[in-house]
């Protein structure tokens, strides 16, 4: 027998970790997205629940997040 501790293999490579960080940097949670739009967070939640909004949320672990690119479209009057 060896006395070496068992090492777990890395789940992601550093490149994948960087890609994930970049992707997460391009989304905002509901309170921050609402502030950026000058709306109340409940307005964005309603958009998500009834589909009435001009953009769709991204769900991460059951929580709503919003793509920065979509928020910019609203601010620019594109949607």
Looking at mean pLDDT, say which of 6-15, 19-28, 39-48 comes out highest. 39-48
Q: Which tokens hold the place of 59? A: 């769900």
* pLDDT in the model for residue 24: 65
Strands 63-67 and 27-29: antiparallel
Residue 26 has pLDDT above 90, yes or no: yes
The tens digit of pLDDT for each residue in 37-63 reads 999 999 999 999 999 999 999 999 999
Is residue 20 included in any domain, yes or no?
no
**Is 39 among the domain residues?**
yes
Q: Is residue 10 part of a domain?
A: no
In a domain, 42, yes or no: yes
CA 46, 51, 53, 59 torsion-angle sign: positive
Q: How many domains does the chain have?
A: 1
Structural domain that includes position 59:
27-75
- Mean pLDDT, rounded, for 1-14: 64
- What SS3 class is residue 58? strand
How confident is the model at residue 30, as a pLDDT? 98
Question: Mean pLDDT across the chain, nearest whole number?
Answer: 87
């Amino acid at each position: 027998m060896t006395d070496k501790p068992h090492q777990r293999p890395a789940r992601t490579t550093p490149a994948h970790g960087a890609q994930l960080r970049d992707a997460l940097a391009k989304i905002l949670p509901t309170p921050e997205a609402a502030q950026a739009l000058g709306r109340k967070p409940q307005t964005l939640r309603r958009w998500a629940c009834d589909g009435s909004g001009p953009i769709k949320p991204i769900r991460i672990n059951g929580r709503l997040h919003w793509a920065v690119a979509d928020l910019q479209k609203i601010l620019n009057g594109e949607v």
